[in-house]
Amino acid sequence: MLPLLRHARYVLSENPVTAFAFGLFAMFLLAAILGPLIAPFDPLATNTSLALKPPSAAHWFGTDQLGRDIFSRVLVATRIDLTIAFASVILAFLLGAVSGVAAGYFGGWSDRIVGRLADTIMAFPLFVLAMGIVAALGNTVTNIVIATAIINFPLYARVARAEANIRRDVGFVEAARLSGNGEARVLFGHILPNIMPIMMVQMSLTMGYAILNAAGLSFIGLGVRPPAPEWGIMVAEGANFIQSGEWWIALFPGATLMLAVFCFNLLGDGLRDIIDPRKRT
């Protein structure tokens, strides 16, 4: 653990962009954990006398059409958006990585089943498929997580399959077999750890996509239900007021959403450099 931490510190010190991405991620993580505690106003409290007020010292991001403080709502919304992103990406990774590694390593019927399943999912426009799943199951947070994990499954399965297929006959795998290790130990103890760097990059990229997917579903009314604070809902509500001049209602949630996706896209390269065993030599 200590060598890994020293290597992580070295990577962050040598790459300012990666350090910035990790700092941004830490900021979002703190906002998700502490947001409801440090929000200056109740994100659900309405006050029509303060409706549509522009940004000011009292309300940094202004207020919406119901007089709710937008800064507080953006802050509190971080928790639900990151929860959906983390849960869906972890679920997609567990399903896709395990099945993909098994398909690439063993081949045969397992490869055909995983391949056909991934092809079937990717035959549909992914966002449309997510819409259909949520519409059929109901627009709850759990169903949004399931829908997002399903549409991301082929990405993990294909990457894991390709990497496992390349590595199943290399020297260290043959050495592990000759040492008496069983197939399961070779698969999960030797092949899977060696494909983790590229999988971590994939997880970082799909984290941003998962946030966009959740926001998109909320924007069209199939995501998190109002009045819960969520970035996509706030952008959708603010879009109705752009022409009348209340630009701040959509701008600040949209900018936060863009910053979160930007953060996770930058985070992938840094995670690869930290986790890749070849980078630590």
In DSSP notation, 214-256 reads HHHHHHTTSSSPTTS--HHHHHHHHHTTTTTT-THHHHHHHHH
Name the helix (H) or strand (E) containing 127: helix 126-137
Structure tokens at 148: 């997002």
Q: Which residues contact 198 (CB under 8 A, 6 or more apart)?
A: 159, 163, 272
Distance CA 209, CA 149 (A): 11
pLDDT of 222? 86
pLDDT of 6? 67
Using 50, 70 and 90 to split pLDDT, how confident is the model at 186? Answer: confident
Give the Å distances, CA to CA, from 60 to 63, 169, 249: 9, 59, 12
Distance CA 105, CA 8 (A): 31
Answer with the residue of higher pLDDT: 184 or 34: 34
Q: Find out whether 47 and 67 touch, Cβ atoms under 8 Å.
A: yes
Q: What number is the average pLDDT over the span 112-136? A: 91
Which 3 state secondary structure label does DSSP give 157? helix
- Interval 6-17: pLDDT, tens: 656 666 666 777
Distance CA 148, CA 141 (A): 11
Q: Find out whether 235 and 254 touch, Cβ atoms under 8 Å.
A: yes
Whether the ω angle into residue 253 lies within 30 degrees of 0, i.e. cis, is: no
Region class of 180: left (phi > 0), else alpha (psi between -120 and 50), else beta: left
- Interval 75-94: pLDDT, tens: 999 999 999 999 999 999 99
Using 50, 70 and 90 to split pLDDT, how confident is the model at 4? Answer: low
| Level-2 CATH architecture, domain 2-45+59-280 | Orthogonal Bundle (1.10)
Region class of 139: left (phi > 0), else alpha (psi between -120 and 50), else beta: beta
pLDDT of 183? 77
Answer with the residue of higher pLDDT: 281 or 186: 186
Q: Find out whether 280 and 7 touch, Cβ atoms under 8 Å.
A: yes
Q: What number is the average pLDDT over the span 203-217? A: 88
Using 50, 70 and 90 to split pLDDT, how confident is the model at 3? Answer: low
pLDDT of 280? 54
**Residue type, position 116, single letter:** R
Using 50, 70 and 90 to split pLDDT, how confident is the model at 242? Answer: confident
Asked if pLDDT for residue 189 goes beyond 90, the answer is no
Closest to 245 (Cα-Cα) out of 67, 47, 53: 53
Which 3 state secondary structure label does DSSP give 170? coil
- Interval 222-240: pLDDT, tens: 888 888 899 999 998 898 8
CB-side neighbour CA atoms (13 Å) of 32: 18
